Amino acid sequence: MTQRAATAAAAAVLAATALLGLAPQAAAAPASPVPQPQSATAENKAAAAQAATAPDTLTTLSRFFAREGKVSLTAARPRIEGEAIPVNHLSPEFVAGRAGAPVARLEFLAGKAVSSDGQQAALWIARTEAGWQVVNIATGDDEFRYAQLGAAKLPGGTVFREPQIDAWYVAGGSRVLPLDEDAVRAVGADGTTLAAYRVRVARAYGDKLPGSAYAEGGMAGGYAEAEAVPAAVAADAEGAGVPWAAGAGALVLGGLGVAAVRRSRRVGARA
């Protein structure tokens, strides 16, 4: 089981049905969700790169990598490797059965951050009301690793995540193929057809889409606590003007709710 999946299992105990949420909870997000572009153009990637390499971002990354004492604050020396990549999530339009809707849509761009001692983190970079900003920092390299796996397994396919169960897939033509053990449990080792996959997600999430009674009742999206953040680290982050997300909470950018899966740091305006 991956670190993300293991943390998701712990979060499930505390978050209960919130892990199945498909609509954002406005009170949990630091700013009003802004629709993301349909594709990661060169212009968008350049804007994401500028946000990732900004001095404030690098300072925050130093604190992030030093949070558990693995490396000192001054020795972290974070760097950004490569260009930002698109990260796609299961599309609510696809779940709803809208004609012509793709299986996934762009949720944010991810930039890879690496510290001097080899720690890795993903910068989640999204278009906000204030322009392109880093909205979350998450441990590990899932976004990049699954992008490579998907390209190798189905060249030209769309790699995407079903955040409600933390499953990664690659879709192309009429097939949806699994990229991790969570996806294998969902669609089998050989994958499934696109039509069968839509039947599955419609059954699982069709009554939890934005505008549904489930969403209107505040049962979707937001944050869930799964891992305590050391008080000293949280205080340091607050002093820097950068609030920590609760435990392993991940920022909901809009559309499908993101399950709380990895320790992360929310960057930007205060909630």
Q: What is the dihedral of CA 71, 72, 74, 77, to 10 degrees?
A: 10
Q: Give DSSP secondary structure letters for 90-116.
A: E-HHHHTT-TT--SEEEEEEEEEEE-T
Of residues 227, 223, 161, the one with CA closest to residue 7: 227
Tens-digit pLDDT profile for residues 214-230: 444 444 443 232 233 33
Q: Which two tokens stand for residue 133?
A: 């900003």
Half-sphere exposure of 226 (CA within 13 A, CB side): 26
Contact 205, 95 (CB under 8 A): yes
In this prediction the pTM is: 0.72
Tens-digit pLDDT profile for residues 25-52: 222 334 446 889 988 999 999 999 999 9
Determine how β-strand 79-90 pairs with β-strand 158-162: parallel
Residues lower than pLDDT 50 in the chain: 1, 3-32, 214-261, 263, 266, 268-271
